[in-house]
Amino acid sequence: MTSIQSRPLDNIGAEVFGFDINEPLTEATKTELKALWYEHGMLLFRNQDVDPTKQIAFSRIFGPLELHPLEVKRSGDHPELFELENGGPADKFQTAYYGGEPVVGRLDWHMDLHYTARPNHGALLRAVVVAPEAGETGFGDLAKAYDALDPETKACIAKVEVAYRFVVQRRQMRFVDLEGYEPGPDSPQKPSDIGFPDFPDAAYPAVVQHPVTGQNILEIVEQFLNRVVEPQKAGLTPDEADALLRRLVDHTRRPEFHYFHTWQRGDMILWDNWRVMHCTRGTAPGVKRLIHRTTIEGDATLGRTLPASQSA
């Protein structure tokens, strides 16, 4: 008998109780944890005494782990671990201005590796060093967002395909909120500035069926969202297509689909990256924050890579 219990969080996800990462895990408990992950899209575990080795072993319950596609991003001792750090030497590249205030590491709503057409299946974040204030991570349920659409919109987007374009300069992102935004003096301009290659555009149906649960997922995340592919096929002019994407992005921003987590030491969060988008609010310059991330491999291709002729 397992003693695991769960309590839904605001709008999305659940907090898991009665779980200790240092207790041996039975197959029944692993099955139960996996079922909870799919049911709630995001799980929060508090007060866990974790180190990188334990985090990696725990993450493997949910599937094979993925190394970050870029060697520059991997942690030396544990290549399965990805360190997200604020308050370190990378700050100057991650600093931008919002309403005149400098912010480090703010990221718009996104899904990890979405720009590759093969997003990872999920990820686990662990708070190693907690920022004294700010630094929240937001999660948004795109299954719930789809369900909340009106029937006309659901019918309209059934034939729509959307393209995503990987850029590193936020001003080139067409659907993020740029009001009051100024890049920092060291903000990267092109992918090679931070050791990234150029990626061809990726395209997804506006509604993707979740590979495991079969749920309809509204595949609209504002970061990198670029355009509707061949809008005339869906009976739309390019202007109408842009207006539709703006309306869908506004819809995904509705707070009833969101949960924002304020980190405490020992917190661990696991989310389903095929269903849940996430964002970070960032921190003030000089504030220390360290998160360790492990990544569950994406073993399904949800989108397609567009040929270079359509990526220009």
- Write out the residues near Fe ion by the rule CB under 5 A: 112
Nearer to Fe ion, 187 or 273 (CB): 273
Least separation in angstroms between residue 175's CB and Fe ion is 17
**What gap in Å lies between CA 194 and CA 218, rounded to an integer?**
30
Spatial separation of the C-alpha atoms in residues 248 and 271, rounded to whole Å: 22
Nearest to Fe ion by Cβ — which residue?
112
Report how far residue 182's alpha carbon sits from residue 36's, in angstroms, rounded to the nearest whole number: 41
Q: How far is the CB of 40 from Fe ion (least distance, A)?
A: 19
Residue closer to Fe ion, measured from CB, 108 or 112:
112
| In the complex, least distance from residue 112 CB atom to Fe ion, rounded to whole angstroms | 4
CB of 213 to Fe ion, least distance (A): 21
Residue 81, CB-side half-sphere exposure with 13 Å CA sphere: 20
Q: Which is nearer to Fe ion, 34 or 73 (CB)?
A: 73
Q: Find, among 81, 84, 16, the residue nearest to 55 by Cα.
A: 81
Identify which of residues 160 and 170 has a Cβ nearer to Fe ion in the complex: 170
The CB-of-279 to Fe ion minimum distance in angstroms stands at: 8
294 vs 283: CA distance, rounded Å: 22
Q: How far is the CB of 120 from Fe ion (least distance, A)?
A: 10
Of the pair 142, 234, the CB lying nearest Fe ion is at 142
Residue 73 vs 154, nearer CB to Fe ion: 73
Q: Cα(253)–Cα(133) distance, rounded to whole angstroms? A: 23
Contact 197, 191 (CB under 8 A): yes
